[in-house]
Structure 1
């Protein structure tokens, strides 16, 4: 059950990051989504979604590795 909850926690930011990549791709090809007034705003939100999604997943993995003492050097938690 715990693994399922962890998978769902990682799935949601992953979906957000994929949606951000889709927004960036559509912006480059000039395809405007209906909720954004212009392509540049769509591109900006695409970058924001990608950074937040990947950042959350990376932070989650770093936290898990710190907890299991699998990090070395500069990734050690400050005590």
Structure 2
């Protein structure tokens, strides 16, 4: 059950990051979607979605590995 919950928690940021990549790719090829008035705004929103999704995913993995003691000394929490 815990693995399923972790999968669901990681699914949403993963989908956000994938949609961000799609928006950035489409803006580079000149495809503009209706909610965005400008290509550069579409690229910026795509980049923010990608960065937020990737950052959440990386933070989740770092926190999990810190609890299990699998990180190097420089990434361990200072107490």
Q: Normalised by the shorter chain, which TM-score bucket?
A: over 0.9
The residue aligned with 2:33 is 33
Partner of 1:37: helix, strand, or coil?
Answer: coil
The residue aligned with 1:63 is 63
The residue aligned with 2:47 is 47
Name the Cα RMSD after superposition.
Answer: 0.6
Residues 38-67 of structure 1: CA deviation (Å, up to 9, x unaligned): 100000001101100000000000000000
TM-score, with length taken from structure 2: 0.97
Structure 2, unaligned runs of 5 or more: none
- Report the Cα offset of residue 72 of structure 1: 1.0
- The aligned length equals 79
Distance (Å, rounded) in 2 between the aligned partners of 1:5 and 1:73: 29
Structure 1, unaligned runs of 5 or more: none
TM-score, with length taken from structure 1: 0.97
Partner of 1:31: helix, strand, or coil?
Answer: coil
